[in-house]
């Protein structure tokens, strides 16, 4: 977690420190598509343990990227805040880059498997 008043070498260092590793960005990318319940996130990111998902969601709430809100059906869903929506373009650019360059070297994606099932 970033610390108020900390000196960073550049804005990219701050941004990467705030996002902290791959799981926060993966969770944000999923929630960017639509608000999601914990169980939906758990199903979509099977390689992430319950403990880590719980911790990373709490971090994202603390940072102010995500909020847990009741939806019209009365179920709580994680949704992006305005600050989280500010990352949408950046997350899409990372997704697009990963898709193009991953496929170029023969990487497979879970969405490829899901589409054929």
Query: How does pLDDT run across 82-91, given as a tens digit for each residue?
Result: 999 999 888 8
Distance CA 24, CA 57 (A): 8
Do the domain assignments include residue 4? no
Q: What is the pTM of this model?
A: 0.79
3 state SS of 36? strand
Parent domain of 18 = 11-116
Q: What's the CATH code of the domain at 54?
A: 1.10.10.10
Number of domains into which the chain is organized: 1
Query: How many whole angstroms from its chain centre is CA 51?
Result: 16
| 79 is a domain residue | yes
Each residue's pLDDT, cut to its tens digit, for the chain (117 residues) gives 556 788 888 888 888 888 887 899 999 999 999 999 999 999 999 999 999 999 999 999 999 999 999 988 889 999 999 999 999 888 888 888 888 988 888 888 877 766 555
User: Does residue 2 fall inside a structural domain?
Assistant: no
């Amino acid at each position: 977690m970033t610390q108020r008043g900390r000196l960073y070498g550049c804005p990219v260092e701050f941004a990467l420190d705030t996002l902290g590793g791959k799981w926060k960005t993966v969770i944000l990318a999923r929630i960017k598509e639509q608000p999601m319940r914990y169980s939906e996130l758990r199903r979509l990111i099977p390689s992430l343990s319950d403990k880590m998902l719980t911790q990373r969601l709490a971090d994202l709430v603390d940072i102010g990227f995500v909020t847990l809100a009741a939806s019209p059906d009365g179920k709580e869903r994680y949704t992006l805040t305005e600050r989280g929506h500010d990352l949408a373009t950046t997350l899409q650019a990372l997704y697009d880059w990963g898709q193009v360059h991953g496929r170029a070297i023969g990487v497979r994606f879970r969405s490829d498997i899901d589409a054929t099932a």
